[in-house]
Amino acid sequence: MKKSLMALAVLAASGAAMAQSSVTLFGVLDATYAYGSGSLSNKSQLTNSGIGGSRLGFRGTEDMGGGLSASFWIEAGVNNDDGTGTATDTNNQANSSGGGGLAFNRRSTVSLGGGFGEVRLGRDYTPQFTNLTAFDPFGTNGVGSNQMLVSSVGGPTRVRASNSIGYILPGNLGGFYGQAMYYLGENSSNSANKKDGNGLGLRAGYKNGPIDAALAFSQTKYLTGDIKTVNLGGQYDLGMVKLMAQYSQDKATKRGTGKGMLAGGTVPMGPGEIDFSYSTYKLDVAGPVDPRTNLLAVGYTYNLSKRTALYTTFARASNKGGATIALAGATTAANTNSNGYNFGLRHSF
């Protein structure tokens, strides 16, 4: 009897150990020298995230049986050039804080997944941003980053949203994929701006063979005027070149309507790849000017190993209609150009 009880105890302990989460430490450290020139000032700096956002994260999954699993993911942005953390916000209302201690600003979620898909809670990428970065050859990083993001009037939730409730479709739908996200500004019900920071984002796409395309929509509420974004992106992999294209439109009450597009691609070359893109963004506002910036970028990434790469990117921004966009920290007068380049080292672990 005692032996049987002991055996049952051992089996129970073993089962509990097997059910524990498997935790992974991961990250990216991307150090880059960047130089920007403009008509008013130039700037040179050692900075970070030239082709990939520097980060430190922890993630884990517990298999609960029957196809059900629980997961967590916390990921902090890191300024590895000076050792500080990057900014975050708590309620989708431009109250960013950071530049000091480590904050899990990139992602902080807990989720439940199964055959039904995944329910995800916390701070995460918004569906509209996922579309922009998925079909950008430069992944919205460095001097070659998508002009539709750099000039966007999409507001605080154009990249991430805090206090979100998300749902992601399962991956067995014959190439169809999608996600929905609702996020909260968490203001008091008796305040004038009680709906500020509340929003909804949707994304739906199809991927099969060389084709991948997706459409995204979002709306975030603010007392000063709602912000709505619609974007469409896609890519076609020809083997010797992967072509990408995007279109985006932001409507911000009292700030105007921004429209933009991107065309570009990646070309495998040796142990690396060439990236190139042309992106543009124009803001239609009341008044005599309609700011517009065109960005041409080309870069090369050389993979030293599966985890380590050297890279360089060159870009040129052309401003019209009163736009003053400059690259890599430079400043330039309205309707003048700015050049920028970076080269650096990225290591992932």
pLDDT in tens, 207-248: 999 999 999 999 999 999 999 999 999 999 999 999 999 999
210 in a structural domain: yes
Answer whether residue 16 shows pLDDT above 50.
no
User: What domain range includes position 167?
Assistant: 26-348
**Token pair belonging to 348:** 């992932």
- pLDDT at site 15: 46
Determine which of 6-15, 129-138, 218-227 has the lowest per-residue pLDDT on average. Answer: 6-15
CB atoms inside a 10 Å sphere around CB 43: 16
114 in a structural domain: yes
- pLDDT at site 8: 39
Tell me if 35 sits within 8 A of 43, measured CB to CB.
Answer: yes
Question: How far is the C-alpha of 17 from the C-alpha of 24, rounded, in Å?
Answer: 17
pLDDT in tens, 291-337: 999 999 999 999 999 999 999 999 999 999 999 999 999 999 999 99
- pLDDT at site 312: 98
276 in a structural domain: yes
**Token pair belonging to 98:** 């950071």
- pLDDT at site 13: 41
CA 7, distance to chain mean position in Å, is: 50
- pLDDT at site 89: 85
The torsion angles phi and psi of 4, rounded to 5 degrees, stand at -65, -45
pLDDT in tens, 261-299: 999 999 999 999 999 999 999 999 776 778 999 999 999
3-class secondary structure for the chain? CHHHHHHHHHHHHHHHHHHCCEEEEEEEEEEEEEEEECCCECEEEEEECCCCCCEEEEEEEEEEECCEEEEEEEEEEEECCCCEECCECCCCCCCCECCCCCCCCCEEEEEEEECCEEEEEEEEECHHHHHHHHCCCCCCCHHHCCHHHHCCCCCCCCCEEEEEEEEECCCCCCCEEEEEEEECCCCCCCCCCCCCCCEEEEEEEEEECCEEEEEEEEEECCCCCCEEEEEEEEEEECCCCEEEEEEEEEEECCCEEEEEEEEEEEEEECCEEEEEEEEEEEEECCCCCCCEEEEEEEEEEEECCCCEEEEEEEEEEEEECCCCCCCCCCECCCCCEEEEEEEEEEEEC
Nearest to 286 by CA among 307, 257, 246, 309: 257
| Confidence at 167, pLDDT banded by 50, 70, 90 | very high
pLDDT in tens, 82-130: 999 988 888 998 776 555 678 999 999 999 999 999 999 999 999 999 9
Place of tokens 């990139």: 106
Tell whether the torsion through CA atoms of 133, 135, 141 and 146 is positive or negative: negative
12 in a structural domain: no
Tell whether the torsion through CA atoms of 205, 206, 207 and 211 is positive or negative: negative
| Confidence at 22, pLDDT banded by 50, 70, 90 | confident
CATH number at residue 341: 2.40.160.10
Mean pLDDT of 181-200: 95
11 in a structural domain: no
Tell me if 301 sits within 8 A of 295, measured CB to CB.
Answer: no
Mean pLDDT of 55-65: 96
225 in a structural domain: yes
Across all residues in the chain, what is the average pLDDT? Answer: 92
235 in a structural domain: yes
Total structural domains within the chain: 1
13 in a structural domain: no
Tell me if 62 sits within 8 A of 38, measured CB to CB.
Answer: no
